[in-house]
Structure 1
């Protein structure tokens, strides 16, 4: 799997907040990859983009040689577990 300049923005206006900013990533077949970091850095958003649950503002996602087509989500063909914590 590979991403090229993957970007996701939420909101509208002249400067909408960036959740994921130009991420380039390469994960080879059979590799396990983690996304460490503090809260609010865009890990869940990046995973949701990779799973086809969100559409990127720009950039590309490739699985092997296949470009992810937003009209045909892969979320039904891959398994993911994305958890969100809610403060009590």
Structure 2
């Protein structure tokens, strides 16, 4: 999904992998601790459920960016609903749930 663009031209910046995205999100949500080393943040954001939420947020951001009707939808609510629905699926599918 790096450089995703509806025209096929990679004009957007690369989308960070999940580990880097987790670091970016953690630093954004904890501005007073922005100087925390990457390794320490990795330990703090090791919960699979948090990383799954970040992954869904990344996908939801893309969807909402390209769908003007989605601009006022809460992405956190979308993520929570999806995780709840995933809990009814087989364990192999819901390891992070």
TM range (shorter): 0.3 to 0.5
Per residue, is there more strand in 1 or in 2? 1
Larger Rg: 2
Q: Relative contact order (alpha carbons < 8 A, sep ≥ 6): 1 or 2 greater? A: 1
Greater fraction of residues in helix: 2
TM-score normalised per structure 2:
0.30
Q: TM-score, normalised by structure 1?
A: 0.32
